Amino acid sequence: MSDTQMKVTADHVRRDAYLYVRQSSLYQVANNTESGRRQYDLRGRAVALGWPAERVVVIDVDQGQSGSSATDREGFQRLVADVSLQKAGIVLGLLLSAAFVRDAGAVVGRDGAG
Torsion sign across C-alpha atoms 23, 28, 33, 34 = negative
Is residue 101 included in any domain, yes or no? yes
> Catalytic one among 24, 66, 69, 97?
24
Count of domains observed in the chain: 1
Give the pLDDT band of residue 110 (cuts 50, 70, 90): very low
Residue range(s) defining the domain that contains residue 63: 3-108
- Tell me: the pLDDT tens digits for 53-85? 999 999 999 887 777 777 788 999 999 999 999
Average pLDDT over residues 32-54: 92
The predicted model scores a pTM of 0.77
Please list the alpha-helical segments (H only) found in the chain: 3-7, 10-14, 26-31, 33-48, 74-84, 98-108
Is residue 113 included in any domain, yes or no? no
Is residue 114 included in any domain, yes or no? no
**Residues 6 or more apart in contact with residue 42 via CB below 8 angstroms:** 19, 92, 93, 94
Is residue 57 included in any domain, yes or no? yes
Verify whether residue 97 is a known catalytic residue. no
Give the pLDDT band of residue 102 (cuts 50, 70, 90): low
